């Protein structure tokens, strides 16, 4: 049997209209400054969802944009996979809500929860279904409304996050000379780090949603120090090197983390796609938002070699290498 590859055929994103600058946060009484936030994180602004903009609403709009770029209709999709830590409800899944909003009646849909690494986990998961014949076309979505998990009294976390959604369409195709598709992916987790980045509530513990808590410095250290293993593994598995990459599209949490990781891996700074300045940290949505931005401005082209990489609560982390 011919080898099946999961090929990216569409990419899209959606951001809430409401833009909140660093200065606006300081004006609201949060003891912070534009200077501190820009210097420590690179973030200048973030988008914040309105009351009616739930995660499924953002995810549906991003999914529709990805379908439009692919020239496909919702009926062409038989797998909807949504990476999110901010579902509309505890259940049913946000993915099934997006499935219904798009008018998809066949196939199957489910959520995947790996916090900020969720999109990389979702790409790796969808790839397993597509490359083994379990589905033909997948909408892989990262959608979040992290603003609803924030403690707005905690300046060490509330200035860092934003809302948004991004999506790609992956299609199972027989591998050919173009070598397009997901070439490899590498996932890791280590639950011993739970207390460094978590939400202090949940349906099975407090019965409340809870608020995000983070030991920022510890997460920073792990992000720069340890997670390059998955990227090196992806290079090894695919027989490629940093020089072969066209674009590096990492999770957008902090400009300093991104640049330190790129430097450590020998990835040239001009290959790094950065959106953290405009979006803040949108957790599972940050990579597909960045992919869509780099598609829209003409940077990512068919045939380009693109490395995505993320680390999130758990800790969870991973990387995937895609020939676009
Ligand atoms: O997406 C999941 C992954 N998450 C991340 O990757 C986040 C990783 N961590 C980080 O990005 C950084 O650690 C932060 C941006 C969260 C913090 O930067 P930092 O350089 O590690 O700062 P710090 O926590 O060491 O704090 C330095 C100072 C402290 O004051 P003192 O103790 O030195 O007097 C903080 O109280 O900055 C103070 N501070 C603030 N000042 C103004 C903390 N937050 C703020 C703030 N505005 N918003």
pLDDT digits (tens, 9 = 90+) for 244-276: 999 999 999 999 999 999 999 999 999 999 999
Q: Which residues of 155-185 are buried (b: 16+ CB within 10 A; e: fewer)?
A: bebbbbbbbbbbbbbbbbbeeeeeebbbbbb
The mean predicted confidence, pLDDT, of the chain is 97
Query: What integer pLDDT is reported at residue 34 of this predicted model?
Result: 98
Residue 116 DSSP label: G
In angstroms and rounded to an integer, the radius of gyration of the C-alpha atoms of the chain is 18
Whether residue 186 lies in the annotated active site: no
- 232 CA to centre of ligand 1 in angstroms: 28
Can you give the pTM of this predicted structure?
Answer: 0.98
DSSP class per residue in 164-208: EEEEEEEEEEE--TT--EEEEEEEEE-GGGGGGEEES-BTTTTSB
Ligand 1 contact via 216 beta carbon (within 6 Å): yes
pLDDT digits (tens, 9 = 90+) for 171-215: 999 999 999 999 999 999 999 999 999 999 999 999 999 999 999
Structure tokens at 42: 């690179």
Top mutation candidate among 220, 261, 290, 312 for ligand 1, by most atoms within 8 Å of CB: 220
Ligand 1 contact via 116 beta carbon (within 6 Å): yes
Rounded Cα distance between 229 and 226, Å, is 6
Whether residue 116 lies in the annotated active site: yes
For residue 1, is pLDDT > 70?
A: no
For residue 104, is pLDDT > 70?
A: yes
End-to-end CA distance of the chain: 23
Q: Which domains occur in the chain, in start order?
A: 4-174 (3.40.47.10), 181-323 (3.40.47.10)
Whether residue 82 lies in the annotated active site: no
Across 10-23, average pLDDT:
98
Structure tokens at 110: 């489910």
């Amino acid at each position: 049997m011919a080898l099946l590859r999961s090929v990216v055929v569409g990419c899209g994103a959606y951001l809430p209209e409401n833009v909140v600058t660093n200065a606006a946060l300081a004006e609201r009484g949060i003891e912070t400054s534009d200077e501190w936030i820009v210097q420590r994180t690179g973030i200048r602004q973030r988008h914040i969802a309105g009351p009616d903009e739930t995660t499924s609403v953002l995810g549906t709009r991003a999914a529709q944009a990805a379908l439009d770029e692919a020239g496909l209709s919702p009926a062409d999709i038989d797998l909807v996979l949504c990476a999110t830590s901010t579902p509309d409800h505890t259940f049913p899944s946000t993915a099934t809500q997006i499935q219904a909003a798009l008018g998809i009646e066949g196939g199957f849909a489910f959520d995947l929860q790996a916090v900020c690494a969720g999109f990389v986990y979702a790409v790796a998961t969808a790839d397993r279904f597509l490359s083994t014949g379990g589905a033909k076309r997948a909408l892989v979505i990262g959608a979040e409304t992290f603003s609803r998990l924030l403690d707005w009294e905690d300046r060490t976390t509330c200035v860092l996050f934003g809302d948004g959604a991004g999506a790609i369409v992956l299609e199972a195709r027989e591998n050919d000379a173009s070598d397009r598709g997901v070439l490899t992916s590498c996932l890791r987790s280590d639950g011993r780090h739970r207390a460094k980045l978590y939400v202090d509530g949940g349906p099975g513990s407090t019965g409340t949603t809870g608020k995000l808590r983070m030991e920022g410095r510890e997460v920073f250290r792990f992000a720069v120090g340890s997670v390059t293993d998955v990227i090196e593994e992806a290079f090894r598995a695919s027989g490629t090197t940093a020089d072969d990459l066209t674009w590096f599209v990492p999770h957008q949490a902090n400009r300093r983390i991104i640049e330190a990781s790129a430097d450590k891996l020998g990835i040239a700074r001009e290959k790094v796609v950065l959106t953290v300045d405009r979006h803040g940290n949108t957790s599972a949505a940050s990579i597909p938002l960045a992919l869509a931005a780099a598609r829209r401005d003409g940077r990512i082209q068919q045939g380009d070699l693109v490395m995505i990489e993320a680390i999130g609560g758990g800790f969870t982390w991973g990387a995937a290498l895609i020939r676009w």
